[in-house]
Structure 1
């Protein structure tokens, strides 16, 4: 019974984590804003314990920060972090794309093919939907590496990069075009082309940093 209770608590904490993380990454919770575990728990219909566990996890991922006697806040977005984040992603994104191309399973191939079709058919102008599609593509590639440590690391840095991207969305042109750049990457991975997969991933990270730097 205890094991079942523990599993249920983890499931609720994961649910809270995903909702709060999405709000932080897409800046629905603005940088520097206070986060009340009681308010979030009430909104989600959860107890405070899973919400607190989720916030602890988000703190370890640099998305929130807790101060004694002051509370928990969304971390600020510092543009000086762009170079540090890009330095890591420039090394790891090509590594992940190449690994995915080498290790792709039938299930992975079907998932990436579905995302490729979605990229080709999307005409959405909904900013949040496009951002979520971008995140889904990245995470599908990470999952296809079958390296949980690499995937976890890239998810963390991807979240931080997406926050910077969202901060400048109103000044960045062609969001749908940026998301659509994933098409050739997905095709290369599906085809098992290791070198082209790595090249497309490296180019995407470099293009992201360059686009941000042009508007700051």
Structure 2
């Protein structure tokens, strides 16, 4: 079964436009440096000009688009050199999020984490690339949400968006996506077992391994 065509976001038309465009930009379906055709995208997404502009303002804050006076709005370039800075922050913040998530006893959050773990354990490696990428993104965002710190969550989501773009740039030279996703299984179990220290160590190893794999890509 295909995971999902998008990481949906509840809320206003601007929220939904933001979520749909964010996914396209993250997965490089809107190519880096390419112009954002507002009227065309607004029609595709079924939203008006105002929600589209609100979405683009948020995406500019996320460093996924950039606007130039009298020139328009463009997808930002993917700068591989940013990996140093992104990884430096993730090495500090991802373990904090994992510890916080492990301490979260909220039954709804735990049910979502359990469902995600079950999906990964039953993962079909033959799923299409987009569905696998979206499952990886969903897993990360769920852990950030479980950390129950909106400032931490927002920062990590933004960093994950940026590193996913770098990943997509070299994905054909990377190990299979399914192998990467399955690394989340032990992490989710540690969180559900309320073992914060193990969760923190596992996510540190995961971030380090992922960065090394990105750097070894031709």
If the length of structure 1 is used for normalisation, what is the TM-score? 0.94
Q: Which residue of 2 aligns with 1:162?
A: 164
Query: Map of 1:10-21 to 2, 5 A cutoff?
Result: 11-21=12-22
Residue 67 of structure 2 aligns to a residue whose secondary structure is strand
Q: How large is the Cα RMSD of the aligned pairs?
A: 0.9
Give 1:68 deviation, angstroms: 0.6
Distance in 2, Cα, partners of 1:117 & 1:185: 13
Distance in 1, Cα, partners of 2:21 & 2:120: 26
Q: Which residue of 1 aligns with 2:85?
A: 84
Higher helix fraction (1 or 2):
1
Distance in 2, Cα, partners of 1:90 & 1:131: 21
Q: Which residue of 2 aligns with 1:125?
A: 127
Distance in 2, Cα, partners of 1:104 & 1:144: 9
Q: Which residue of 1 aligns with 2:110?
A: 109
Q: Kindly provide the CA deviation profile for residues 73-92 of structure 1, in whole angstroms up to 9, marking residues without a partner as x.
A: 00000110011111111100
Query: Map of 1:178-193 to 2, 5 A cutoff?
Result: 178-193=180-195
After TM superposition, the runs of 4+ consecutive aligned structure 1 residues lying more than 3 A away are: none
Distance in 2, Cα, partners of 1:130 & 1:37: 28
Give 1:125 deviation, angstroms: 3.1
Structure showing greater Rg? 1
Point out where structure 1 has 5 or more consecutive residues left out of the alignment.
1-9
Maintained 8 Å contact 1:104/1:144: no
Residue 78 of structure 2 aligns to a residue whose secondary structure is coil
Point out where structure 2 has 5 or more consecutive residues left out of the alignment.
1-10
Residue 72 of structure 1 aligns to a residue whose secondary structure is strand
Q: Which residue of 1 aligns with 2:155?
A: 153
Give 1:39 deviation, angstroms: 1.2
Distance in 1, Cα, partners of 2:32 & 2:111: 37
Matched, 1:62 2:60: no
If the length of structure 2 is used for normalisation, what is the TM-score? 0.93
Give 1:104 deviation, angstroms: 3.2
Distance in 2, Cα, partners of 1:173 & 1:145: 29
Residue 19 of structure 2 aligns to a residue whose secondary structure is helix
